[in-house]
Structure 1
Amino acid sequence: MLRMRVGIVAESFLPNINGVTNSVLRVLEHLKREGHEAIVVAPGARDFQEEVPDYLGFEIVRVPTVMIPLIDSLPIGVPTTTVAAALADFKPDVIHLASPFVLGGAGAFAARQLDIPAVGLYQTDVAGFATKYHAAMVANIAWDWTRTIHNMCQMTLAPSSATISELESRGIKNVNHWGRGVDAELFHPTRRSEVLRRQWDPTGSKKIVGFVGRLAAEKSVHRLAPLVANQDIQLVVVGDGPERQALEEALPGAVFTGALSGESLARAYASLDLFIHTGEFETFCQAIQEAQASGVPTIGPRAGGPIDLIDHGVNGLLLDVDTFEAELPDAAGWVLDDARLDDLKDTARESIADKTWQALGEQLMGYYEEVVKGYNRNVIRIFGRDVNLPAWARGPRRLRRGA
C-alpha cells in the first residue's frame, strides 16, 4: 500500500469534544491502523483543562486560544507561525484541514507556502451560526473567507448533498462527498437500560424523547417546548453549553443529564424511544446517525445533513424549519405510535449498516492519494501544453511505499 504522512490542522481537538474533534480522532485511528504517519496542529485547552500531548503516538502541536463571547464551548486557535513551522518540520505528503476557518486558514496558507496539496473538510456552518447570533454582515464575510480558504485547497470534502450544493452555489470548487462513519458496536440497541429509563421516568409509563448535543443557540433546542405539556412524554436533554440555564426554564420537567460520553452516552441514546434534532445548521449531524445506530427513530429539520440521514416515513420524519414547532407534537405522536414504533426502530438500525469508520477511512485515503498524484510538481504548463521538468529540476517523490 502507499504509506503517507498527513499533517492535520484542526479548528478543535481534545480535550474539547465536538463533531470536529470526533472526526479527527476517527481519522487518526484509521491512519494508525493502516501504518501511516501524522501530526496534529490544534488549539490549546481552555482554562483548567488538561492538554493531551499526543494521540495514539501522533504528536499534537498546540497554539494559543481565545474565546468567542457567548460561545464558550468553542475556543479558537490563534494562527501563529507555529502552524507553518510544525508542518515544515514534519514534511507531510498532504495537509488535512479539519473545518478550516481561523487556524485552518493559516493551514491553507502554509500549504501554499510549503507547496503541499491540501484537502479541506467543510464541517461547520460558520455563516449559519453568525446568522443565528444576529450578525448578517458577519455571515457574508464568513462566506467570502470560507470560499477563499477552500479554493486554496486541491479538494473540499463535504458531508451531505445539501452542503455540497450550498458550497458550489457559493463558488467553492472541486467539492466531493465524504460523510461520517458511526461506531456500530458502541452505539447499539442492546445498550438500552431499563434502570436508566426508570431514573428518567419513575412511573415507567411514558415514552422517552430526547435531544443530544451542545446546548447553544444554533441548536434551537427550545423547539422541544411544544412537547412539555404532553403527559405521555418524558423529555431528556443530554449535553451542556451556554444555553442550559435558559433551556431548563423553557423546558420545565425535562431531565438534563449534562454532557455524556462513551458507554454512558451510548446507554442514553439506546434508552430513548425517539430522538429529535432541532437545529437547521448541521452540515451532517452525527447525533442523528448515532441515534439510528442505537435503534432509535429520529425527527429532524428538512435542512442540511439530516436530509440525507432521515428517510421520511421509514426511519423517522423530516419537518420544515419554518413550521417545526407547530408540526412537532403530531410528528412525535406518529413516530411513538405502538403500531409502528418497533418497525421504525428496526429500520433506524438498518440505515447505518454501510456507514462504518473503516469504509469512510478508506475513502478518505483515496481522496488523499488523488490530490497528491494530481499535484504534480514535475510538470509545468507552457503554451497550453503539459511539459515534464528535467530530472535536475524535479522535487522528491512524496508518496512512500510500505509493506
Structure 2
Amino acid sequence: MRYVLVTETYPPEVNGVALTVHGLACGLRVRGHAVCVVRPRQPAEAARPHDADELRLPGAPLPRYPGLRFGLPAAARLRRAWRACRPDAVYVATEGPLGASALRAAKALDIPVATGFHTRFDRYMRDYGLPWLAPVAWRWMRRFHDGADATLVPTAELASELQRAGVRRVLRLPRAVDTALFDPRRRDETLRAGWGARPQGPVVLHVGRIAPEKNLELAVRAFRALQRHRPQARMVWVGDGPARARLQRAHPDFVFCGVQRGEALARHFASGDLFVFPSRSETFGNVTLEAMASGVATVAFDTGAAREHLADGKHGHVVRDGDEAAFVEATVALGCDDARREAMGWAARAAAAALDPAHVAAAFDRLLQRLADGRTHAAPAVA
C-alpha cells in the first residue's frame, strides 16, 4: 500500500504530535508499505524536490510558539503530487493550513482520508489569554474533522467526548511506548549528582513544553509543599518553551535541562523519582507512558493517558480532574514515601511493557486499509 501522512510538526521538533506521527510512519514502513510524509520545511533544511519518503513544503513560524512552524496552504501542489503518484489513503495529523489543504486535495481526488485529533487548540486559547477565540477554534476543528472519512483519537474518553459534541466517525487508535528506549536501567547517578540530588530528598521531574497551557504553577506549588517535608528534594525541568525564562528567574533553585532527545531523554526520565504532570489540556500526554516505562511513579489528573493507563494507587496517583489541592496532596504523599513510590514505579514499568508500538502500527495499518477498501464506517481499529 502507498500511504501519505501529513503533519505540521515532525522531528527534530520535540512534541507529542511530532513523535507520534514519526512512530506511525516508521511502523508502517516496517510493515512493508510505501510512506510519504508531507510537512513544512524546517529552517535549517534546504529545499529539495518531492521524493518517495518526504515532501517538504514552505512554512512559517507559529505565533507565540517559538521553535515550531505551520505549513502554508498547498492544495494545488498536493493535487499535482497525488495525481502523479496516487496514495491509497491519507492521514492528516494537524488542523493547520497545510492539513486543511491536504484534506481538500484528498477529497477532490476521491482519496480516502483520516484525521488525527491531537491538540485541544480551543483550550489553548484560554491559556494564552484569548478565551473569546475558544468557540471559534472549536467550530473550525469540528468542521475540519467532519470533512474526513474517520477521526482518530487516542483514548475512549476523548472518543466519547467528541461523539457527544457531534463529531462523526470517531475511531480509537491507542498509543504505545518504546520500552527498549525508556527503561529504568538507564538511571544515571552521575546525572543525578549534577542536579544536586541527595539521598535524603527525591527528584521531582517535569518533562514537556514549558508553556502556559501546561498548568505549570501547580507543579511548582506541589513541589514547594513537598519541600517543606523533604528540604533536600530537587525539582528538575526537561524541555523548553515561552514560560521557561520567567520560571527560571522566579525559582533559581530549580534545575532546567532544556530539550532532550532519544537516549538522553530516557536517562533523564529514569533518573527522576517522581513525575508530576499537571496539564489539563492534553488529548493524551505521551510523557505519562514514558514515565511509566522508565519506572517512575506519576501524579496526574484523571484524563488522557493517565485515565487510560495509570492505575491510581498502583502506578502513582490519578487525581480527579481539576482538584488541585488533591494533586498537591498526592505529590507530597508519594514524595515522602520512598518505598511505596519505588514499588509503584516498578509496577508502572510492568504495565507499560504491554504497550507495544508494533501493535499500534498494525492497528493503524488495518484502519487505513479499510478506508482504502471503502469501509469507512468500520469498527474501531482496537477496542
Same fold (TM over 0.5): yes
1:2-401 counterparts in 2 under 5 A? 4-46=1-43, 49-50=44-45, 58-80=52-74, 81-201=76-196, 203-226=198-221, 227-228=223-224, 230=227, 231-324=231-324, 326-336=325-335, 337-374=337-374
User: CA contact under 8 A between 1:317 and 1:331: conserved in structure 2?
Assistant: yes
Q: Which amino acid aligns with 1:197?
A: R
Q: Which amino acid aligns with 1:169?
A: R
SS of 2:157's equivalent?
Answer: helix
Counterpart for residue 388 of structure 1: none
Q: Deviations over 1:181-226 (max 9, x none)?
A: 1110000010011111111125443201100011111112222222
Distance verdict in 2 for CA 1:151–1:270, change over 3 Å: same
User: CA contact under 8 A between 1:163 and 1:305: conserved in structure 2?
Assistant: no
SS of 2:314's equivalent?
Answer: coil
Q: Which amino acid aligns with 2:147?
A: M
> In the TM superposition, what is the alpha-carbon distance from 1:58 to its structure 2 partner?
4.5
SS of 1:332's equivalent?
Answer: helix
User: CA contact under 8 A between 1:281 and 1:303: conserved in structure 2?
Assistant: no
> In the TM superposition, what is the alpha-carbon distance from 1:335 to its structure 2 partner?
1.9
Distance verdict in 2 for CA 1:99–1:252, change over 3 Å: same
Distance verdict in 2 for CA 1:58–1:347, change over 3 Å: farther
Distance verdict in 2 for CA 1:261–1:198, change over 3 Å: same
* Distance across 1 between alignment mates of 2:288 and 2:66: 24
SS of 2:166's equivalent?
Answer: coil
Q: Deviations over 1:107-142 (max 9, x none)?
A: 111111010001111111111111211223322122
Q: Which amino acid aligns with 2:372?
A: V
> In the TM superposition, what is the alpha-carbon distance from 1:289 to its structure 2 partner?
0.3
> In the TM superposition, what is the alpha-carbon distance from 1:59 to its structure 2 partner?
2.5
SS of 1:7's equivalent?
Answer: strand
> In the TM superposition, what is the alpha-carbon distance from 1:255 to its structure 2 partner?
0.3
Q: Which amino acid aligns with 1:20?
A: V
* Distance across 2 between alignment mates of 1:133 and 1:348: 34
* Distance across 1 between alignment mates of 2:108 and 2:18: 26
Q: Which amino acid aligns with 1:67?
A: P
SS of 1:72's equivalent?
Answer: coil
* Distance across 1 between alignment mates of 2:161 and 2:167: 9
User: CA contact under 8 A between 2:289 and 2:305: conserved in structure 1?
Assistant: no
> In the TM superposition, what is the alpha-carbon distance from 1:375 to its structure 2 partner?
5.3
* Distance across 2 between alignment mates of 1:285 and 1:202: 26
User: CA contact under 8 A between 2:279 and 2:301: conserved in structure 1?
Assistant: yes
More strand by share: 1
Distance verdict in 2 for CA 1:329–1:278, change over 3 Å: closer
> In the TM superposition, what is the alpha-carbon distance from 1:291 to its structure 2 partner?
0.6
- Unpaired stretches in structure 2, ≥5 consecutive residues: 377-383
More displaced 10-residue stretch of structure 1: 198-207 or 213-222:
198-207
User: CA contact under 8 A between 1:16 and 1:45: conserved in structure 2?
Assistant: no
> In the TM superposition, what is the alpha-carbon distance from 1:251 to its structure 2 partner?
3.2
More displaced 10-residue stretch of structure 1: 173-182 or 245-254:
245-254
SS of 2:69's equivalent?
Answer: strand
> In the TM superposition, what is the alpha-carbon distance from 1:50 to its structure 2 partner?
3.1
**Which runs of 4 or more aligned residues in structure 1 lie more than 4 Å from their structure 2 counterparts after TM superposition?**
51-55
Count of residues paired in the alignment = 369
Distance verdict in 2 for CA 1:202–1:308, change over 3 Å: closer
Counterpart for residue 391 of structure 1: none
> In the TM superposition, what is the alpha-carbon distance from 1:351 to its structure 2 partner?
1.6
> In the TM superposition, what is the alpha-carbon distance from 1:240 to its structure 2 partner?
0.7
Distance verdict in 2 for CA 1:302–1:290, change over 3 Å: same
User: CA contact under 8 A between 2:41 and 2:47: conserved in structure 1?
Assistant: no
* Distance across 2 between alignment mates of 1:119 and 1:297: 35
* Distance across 1 between alignment mates of 2:234 and 2:37: 42
Q: Which amino acid aligns with 2:69?
A: P
* Distance across 2 between alignment mates of 1:36 and 1:224: 43
* Distance across 2 between alignment mates of 1:309 and 1:87: 39
Q: Which amino acid aligns with 2:269?
A: Y
User: CA contact under 8 A between 1:40 and 1:61: conserved in structure 2?
Assistant: yes
* Distance across 2 between alignment mates of 1:54 and 1:355: 37
TM-score normalised to the size of structure 1?
Answer: 0.86
User: CA contact under 8 A between 2:197 and 2:234: conserved in structure 1?
Assistant: no
Q: Deviations over 1:94-118 (max 9, x none)?
A: 0011133331111111111010001
Distance verdict in 2 for CA 1:222–1:53, change over 3 Å: farther
> In the TM superposition, what is the alpha-carbon distance from 1:330 to its structure 2 partner?
2.4
> In the TM superposition, what is the alpha-carbon distance from 1:38 to its structure 2 partner?
1.6
Counterpart for residue 381 of structure 2: none
